[in-house]
Structure 1
Amino acid sequence: MQEVKKGIIQGVIILVAFLYLAKLFYLQVIDEGYSEAAVSNAIEQVVQIPYRGQIYDRKGNLIVYNTPTYDLFITPKKARIPDTLRLCNLLGVTKVQFDSMYNVAKTYSKFKPSLFMRQLSVEDFARIQDAMVDYPGFTFETSAFRTYNTSALANTLGYVAEVSPKQLEDQEERGENYYRQGDYIGQSGLEKQYEETLRGRRGMKYIMKDVHGVVKGPWKGGAADVVPIAGKNLYTSLDVELQQYADSLFQNKSGSLVAIDPSTGEILAMVSAPTYDPKMLSGRSYSKNYQKLALNPFNPLLNRALQGTYRPGSTFKTIETLVGLQDGAITPSTVLGHSGIRMNCHCGSSSSTLHRAIQMSCNPYFYHVFRRIIYNNDETNVFKKSKVGLTRWHDRVAKFGIGQKLGVDLPYERKGLLPDVEYYNKRNKGENNWKFSNIYSVGIGEGELLVTPLKLANVAAIIANRGWYITPHLVRAIGNPKGDPLPEFKEKHSVDIDYRHFETLIAGMSDAVRAGTVMRAAYIPDLEICGKTGTSQNPKGPADNSVFICFAPRNNPKIAIAAVVDYGKWGGTTSAPIAMMVAEKYIKGTVSHKGLERELMNKNLLYLPPPSPKKKPTPLLPKDRILIVENGKVKSVPTTKSAYPQFSVYDFITMQ
């Protein structure tokens, strides 16, 4: 018996010792909060946020820079608040606001610092920093908000905002830990695309403090400090003066204009209208202004240059001409008639040459060109020939960047649509259910074909270069204004069309501007602009969309442009004069037709389609049936409740 008691006592002693050891192990090894709290009694870690890289235009003008501010962080586990009311008065918040912000921080993490108040001015920081010594657990970090020297380029430049919970989760899944709750990150435009370049590398400073929070100096003389490295500057190809001029022509209009230097692929201007002032999404008013912009029915947050998809209309006839010539479906001297074609003709005659068809944008002519390409001049076994011909045509057109992402250095670029055999098989429920007569409208830039204004500008650059392009891009150099562009923005991409075919097309485009579908009042005698008009079908509005592509001058081109104006109707009367004025402004520095310029600036084409009428929801059951829950299962029964007296009214579930 004595031995049993002795064994029990020993067991209890061992158990208690084990529990003490386990608790000690937990506190010292597992519980990071405990060790952090112990260390922080002597050492405080101060994160140093580097200045974000600045952004310049092609002439060295500063577009985006940083204004210094301070962010206040809180670590809830360390926070001591002896006088809440005094602290609220210092920070200029109510007790309710303070409690809300504190609970958000505590929910995020008790041990990690999180943002409490953002973007305190230098004056605010100077006013409260001494008093904050009485409130341990609160720390300041230097920060900055983006400041803009222009009201243009909002969608191109993009904006920075607080990192979202989803972005923090994605970061953890990638095994990274750079961003913390409350940090800023590029959310769109160049700010997002070049985030890692612009953000730099944050630093860390270790400061010795006593138990009263009084700073005693750097820990280990600063030997352990990590110096922050500022983000690298971006030197862009944008011409702010040209951009502002192009924006002025798009006042009270929706649409886009993209201007490219064809020899380099550098984007000179990128209009997306309606737009907004980038200052709206910088600073403390971000949330309020973002909500306002997001609810705007004209969707100013959408970058129409690379996210808006349009039918190219007759501008696509430029590509159709080149493919037809290269494949031998036509020659420069081919004459085609108009009879029997259900398409409008602008030529005023019963047949056209290729030159006149380009000059006057002849639909019947290009109907025949597309038919010849698809059937390869052999109209036997038309279903099979349509598949073979469309595949050959698709591969040719795809080399112009249609139906794919070009790779511009901006996020959210859309591919558009270049229909292929698989697409039509799926749409027509079988490979033998369609032929040329089902797809002919694609040959004149209508039907299922969809492109972005950026792609149209790239097509203009390809024609200007007589057969090649460099991927359109915005950043010329990083860190050094004289640095080289990124490798992917040096490579030339060939469209595999013979040089001589471009000269045939360009001759027609020159006459389209001089004496063709472009309005006479827009003609500039001392600047040879080669262009092609287009009218893109838009059944949702009061008029079709106006489209135009061009380059200038004809020899040694300096600029290639695409312009799309929603509801502008004719390409030659709206988009063409806008694009031609932008070209003249860039090359000559001035504009000849001041009267037309004023007229276009004052032209209001904004239109908001009426909301779709609400349809009455279709009942999921006949009116004489109802769903009930019986034994945990849903079943259909007649609506007469008396037939099912065992069910209460709450057992009936109507599906209307």
Structure 2
Amino acid sequence: MNSFFERRYVITAIFITLALVLLGRLYYIQIMDDRYLLSAKENVLRRTISYPARGAIFDRNGKILVQNVPVYDIMVTPREVKPFDTLEFCKLLSIDKEGFDKRFQKAKKFSPFRQSIFEKQIPVQLYASLQERMSDFPGFEAVPRTVRTYPDSTAAHFLGYIGEVNDKMIEKSGNYYRRGDYVGISGVERAFEDVLRGQRGVTYNMVDSRNVSKGSFSNGEFDTVAVTGERLVSSLDLRIQKLGEKLMTNKVGSIVAIEPSTGEILAFVSSPTYDPNLMTGRERGNNLSKMYKDPYNPMFIRPIQARYPPGSSFKPLDALIALQEGIITPQTTFFCPHYYQAGNHQVKCEHFDGVTDLRKAISQSCNTYFCYVFDKLMNARGVKNIRPALTTWKEQVNKFGFGVKMDIELPFESRGNVPTPLRYDNVFGKNRWRSSSIISLAIGQGELLATPLQMANIEAVMANRGFYYKPHLIKAIGDKNIIKEEYTKRNYVGIDEKYFEPVIDGMQDVVDRGTAAAARIPGIVMCGKTGTVQNPHGKNHSVFVAFAPRDTPKIAIAVIVENAGYGSSWAAPIGSYMIEKYLRDTITKPKAQVQYIVNANLLPPPPGWKPPVRKLTKKDSVKIDSARKSKADTIRKQQELKSAGERKKKDTLNKILAYQPKRKEDE
């Protein structure tokens, strides 16, 4: 009896153990290991993703800035790969055997059972020869894609570029993106990714264990069609964009042009630039690496990221604040003796202006006048109350868009800088600084920094006599115009309209008979201001800001050419060509003058650059020895002549003394 019960327990234990093992195995197969699940699915359904074309981008006149061309991605599922002629496959793809092995191992590491990219962006011409042989290479499949192409190779910084997503981007998107997907990395491509990317399509096909298609699953009920991305109509004018990039060839700087009546950006030039077509295709990575190593940093978006002291272009703004505060009137005069005495140091003025009123001060860019104006602004509440005076001045300057982000659609915009009292407390000590300590702000120097976009926006304020519309880049998405409330709202700067006319009179004189007279456009009344911005790292920057025409403004512009010297020499001519091209679609200046600007190379030496040292040859040594001997002979002859001259003087003096009559005392 006991033996029976013992056997029963043993048999029960065996069955329980077997059941637990089976359950454990089922759990592992179904939950832990996805190989069988994937195989089962692949034996039933094959999902094929179709990728949509990204939306095209146009300029304001309907000209194409960027569109798409077809390419093919070669996909591989490592487990399905059977023996084949590897060398022939490599030859068709224009890769070597080492490259093949590297790509294949990467695909296996990702997943032996899942499809992944083996080779990206095969052009149509290359795929044509591969297409007929694809059946010879089991496990490989070609998936049609599109890549960007830029017909005019222009506006690279404005448009931006796309690139393959990384793990962080996939995670951030909530797994919307997958490996091999492309996404906007910079510029408009990034800012409007959601509307440009379109929507992926999916097709489900039934297949058997040999991967032979058995037709559409459920008659295509669950299939979706790829939806092309929306097209964008930008505010850019391709005519002046191309001209601006041409004029800025071999120069470092920026041009930004705005339509004052809408805030739409007409030109967005960053120099040095690059051909956006270099950011597509199989060589994109190599091209990008080269650009990042370029000492002139062509990837830097200067219109919104570079920060410059505005220099003399800031003087009209200071004048407006002083007029609004009642510190000066248009008739207020100051005497300019060629400098302004600020405490124990002088602020030089380019010329002797004598008795100067506001209009003359703007047209002649008189530093002395605006130093007096700034001094009065800072000390209006008394010398000891300079801190609140500077705070108020900063708030007024911020209203013009200086020191704050303009919130343009592009990422990575800089806010510039308008200094606070705390900045000077840290430099000089609390309550130990006066207006003379910060007088450089009067002429747009010192700690005051602005982006080219902010400087162009100031001219839009001038053109509108006291307000601006928020600068923006896109006019329409798809067939619908974008009329956001923020783009139709007038942003007032707190200056009464009546104060703009005397300042604009001075700005017109700048072009008619002042520092920018050479940039005058016959038949167009242009108001502008030149600037020569001090640069501690090299030659001064050339700056010009303007708007035109005076009474019906259609364009406001800012031009900065780094290390180019006077604003009248380079920035002003470039600005006048851009304005005339936009208003008349032609340039009346002689072609030779325009070509002179285009051909000029103003690139500063790259950081750390030193002239190359040539190795001396025997010939050079002989020349050096000869030069040294010649120099020694010259020095010797000079010494001999000097000695002979001294002897001659001594002999002459002795003769004079010998023939002098003796005095009575000597007798």
Shift of 1:474: 1.4
**1:223 aligned partner:** 221
**1:358 aligned partner:** 362
Q: Which runs of 5+ in 2 are unaligned?
A: 611-667
**1:348 aligned partner:** 352
More deviation, 359-368/337-346: 337-346
**2:401 aligned partner:** 401
**1:157 aligned partner:** 159
Shift of 1:375: 2.0
Shift of 1:484: 3.0
Number of residue pairs matched by the alignment: 600
Give the Cα separation in 2 of the matches to 1:340 and 1:375: 16
**1:36 aligned partner:** 38
Shift of the 427–194 alpha-carbon distance from structure 1 to 2, 3 Å rule, reads farther
Whether contact under 8 Å (2:250, 2:603) holds in the other structure is: yes
Shift of the 395–110 alpha-carbon distance from structure 1 to 2, 3 Å rule, reads farther
Give the Cα separation in 1 of the matches to 2:21 and 2:85: 39
The question of 1:558 aligning with 2:554 is answered yes
Whether contact under 8 Å (1:253, 1:606) holds in the other structure is: yes
Give the Cα separation in 1 of the matches to 2:486 and 2:518: 41
Whether contact under 8 Å (1:201, 1:230) holds in the other structure is: yes
The question of 1:608 aligning with 2:609 is answered no
Whether contact under 8 Å (2:555, 2:579) holds in the other structure is: yes
Give the Cα separation in 2 of the matches to 1:247 and 1:587: 18
Listed as ranges, the matches of 1:366-405 within 5 Å are 366-376=370-380, 378-379=382-383, 381=384, 385-405=385-405
Shift of 1:123: 4.7
Whether contact under 8 Å (2:251, 2:272) holds in the other structure is: yes
CA offsets per residue over residues 598-622 of structure 1, 9 Å max, x none?
2222222111244189xxxxxxxxx
CA offsets per residue over residues 480-513 of structure 1, 9 Å max, x none?
1x62344432222111111011112111100011
**1:197 aligned partner:** 195
**2:638 aligned partner:** none
**2:263 aligned partner:** 265
TM-score, length basis structure 1 = 0.87
Give the Cα separation in 2 of the matches to 1:127 and 1:10: 67
Shift of 1:190: 1.0
Give the Cα separation in 2 of the matches to 1:218 and 1:529: 68
The question of 1:502 aligning with 2:500 is answered yes
**1:539 aligned partner:** 536
Shift of the 209–132 alpha-carbon distance from structure 1 to 2, 3 Å rule, reads farther
Give the Cα separation in 2 of the matches to 1:462 and 1:223: 58
Residue type of the partner of 1:336?
F
Whether contact under 8 Å (2:381, 2:389) holds in the other structure is: no
CA offsets per residue over residues 153-174 of structure 1, 9 Å max, x none?
1111111121234423434xxx
Give the Cα separation in 2 of the matches to 1:14 and 1:132: 53
Give the Cα separation in 1 of the matches to 2:137 and 2:209: 12
Give the Cα separation in 2 of the matches to 1:195 and 1:442: 41
Shift of 1:7: 3.0
Picking from 224, 247, 251, the partner of 2:249 is: 251
Give the Cα separation in 1 of the matches to 2:96 and 2:593: 56
Shift of 1:36: 2.2
Shift of 1:362: 1.1
**1:118 aligned partner:** 120
CA offsets per residue over residues 288-324 of structure 1, 9 Å max, x none?
2111211111111111111111111011112111111
Picking from 95, 98, 107, the partner of 1:96 is: 98
Give the Cα separation in 1 of the matches to 2:310 and 2:113: 56
Whether contact under 8 Å (2:353, 2:366) holds in the other structure is: no
CA offsets per residue over residues 254-280 of structure 1, 9 Å max, x none?
111111111111111111111111111
CA offsets per residue over residues 215-261 of structure 1, 9 Å max, x none?
23221111111211110001011111111112221122111111111
Give the Cα separation in 1 of the matches to 2:369 and 2:112: 73
Picking from 40, 50, 53, the partner of 1:51 is: 53
Give the Cα separation in 2 of the matches to 1:265 and 1:190: 17
Whether contact under 8 Å (1:133, 1:213) holds in the other structure is: no
Shift of 1:205: 0.8
Shift of the 181–584 alpha-carbon distance from structure 1 to 2, 3 Å rule, reads same
**1:569 aligned partner:** 565
Residue type of the partner of 1:98?
F
**1:590 aligned partner:** 586
Residue type of the partner of 1:422?
L
TM-score, length basis structure 2 = 0.86
Give the Cα separation in 1 of the matches to 2:320 and 2:335: 20
Whether contact under 8 Å (1:50, 1:202) holds in the other structure is: yes
**1:448 aligned partner:** 447
Give the Cα separation in 1 of the matches to 2:463 and 2:533: 23
Whether contact under 8 Å (2:518, 2:568) holds in the other structure is: no
Shift of the 9–390 alpha-carbon distance from structure 1 to 2, 3 Å rule, reads farther
Residue type of the partner of 2:453?
L
**1:439 aligned partner:** 438
Give the Cα separation in 2 of the matches to 1:461 and 1:212: 68
**2:544 aligned partner:** 548
Whether contact under 8 Å (1:347, 1:356) holds in the other structure is: no
Whether contact under 8 Å (2:462, 2:500) holds in the other structure is: yes
Give the Cα separation in 2 of the matches to 1:484 and 1:557: 23
**2:421 aligned partner:** 421
Whether contact under 8 Å (1:329, 1:377) holds in the other structure is: no
Shift of 1:67: 0.5
Residue type of the partner of 2:260?
P
Picking from 231, 234, 237, the partner of 1:236 is: 234
Q: Which runs of 5+ in 1 are unaligned?
A: 614-656
Residue type of the partner of 1:555?
D
Whether contact under 8 Å (1:133, 1:214) holds in the other structure is: no
Sequence identity, in percent?
A: 41
Give the Cα separation in 1 of the matches to 2:365 and 2:120: 57
More deviation, 411-420/434-443: 434-443
- Judging by fraction of residues, say which structure has more helix: 2
Q: Secondary structure at the match of 2:481?
A: coil
Give the Cα separation in 1 of the matches to 2:609 and 2:404: 31
Shift of 1:479: 0.5
Shift of 1:356: 1.0
Give the Cα separation in 1 of the matches to 2:131 and 2:44: 20
Residue type of the partner of 1:530?
C
Give the Cα separation in 1 of the matches to 2:528 and 2:276: 33
| Structure showing greater Rg | 2
Give the Cα separation in 2 of the matches to 1:73 and 1:46: 12
Whether contact under 8 Å (2:162, 2:182) holds in the other structure is: yes
Give the Cα separation in 1 of the matches to 2:470 and 2:135: 55
Shift of the 46–496 alpha-carbon distance from structure 1 to 2, 3 Å rule, reads same
